[in-house]
Amino acid sequence: QGDAVGLMASGGESRWVPPKRGMGAIDTLLRASYDLQPRAVATDYLAAATELSLRQRKRALVMLVTNARDEDIEDLLAAVRLLQKRHLVCVASLREHALDQAMEDEVHDQPGAIRAGAVARYLEQRTAAHEALRSHRVMVLDVTSDELPAALVERYLAVKRDGLL
């Protein structure tokens, strides 16, 4: 559709691929990101948003892919508010497969009940974090890594269809 696509990764390993148009853009993104792996380090959302704001001056759809946790919500909201000054923001909050599995597991004993209760509480906090983002006009995708590619494309097409950019 003639749109440019770029990439910025932060939290562990930083990478920047400026937005580029054309079929070659996808190949460039794939080469730049194929080996990115999640790291057990806290992302400085505000620093990442500041860097992106300096690099990407033109209004864009910013899709922030993260594993948003309740304890991160204030930092994430501050970053989103900064980005929203110029950009349309979508947070793709990755949900661990283990959570879905834990909710399907039958409870047969006390440890299972404790585990089920902990998972339910975690999911409630996660839902509250998503609602906090939505209350600030942020699009939120709650997806597993398997669901992520299709969800991002669907959201992009909806944004284009609705003329939001």
The band of 88, judged by pLDDT with boundaries at 50, 70 and 90, is: very high
Handedness of CA 36, 55, 59, 44 (dihedral sign): positive
Query: How many other CB atoms are there within 10 angstroms of residue 75's CB atom?
Result: 16
46-161 to CATH, choices 3.40.50, 2.60.40, 3.40.720, 3.30.70:
3.40.50
> Is it the case that residue 79 has pLDDT exceeding 90?
yes
What is the pTM (predicted TM-score) of this model? 0.85
The predicted-structure confidence for 4-60, as pLDDT tens digits, reads as follows 888 888 877 788 888 888 878 888 888 888 888 877 778 889 999 999 999 999 999
Contact predicate 54/43, CB 8 Å: no
Region class of 137: left (phi > 0), else alpha (psi between -120 and 50), else beta = left
Give the integer Cα–Cα distance in Å for 153 and 61. 12
Stated as kind and residue range, the H or E segment containing 94 is: strand 88-94
Show me where the domains of the chain are located. 1-41, 46-161
pLDDT at 95: 86
Question: Taking residues 125-134, what's their average pLDDT?
Answer: 91
Contact predicate 155/63, CB 8 Å: yes
- Give the 3-state secondary structure of residue 8: strand
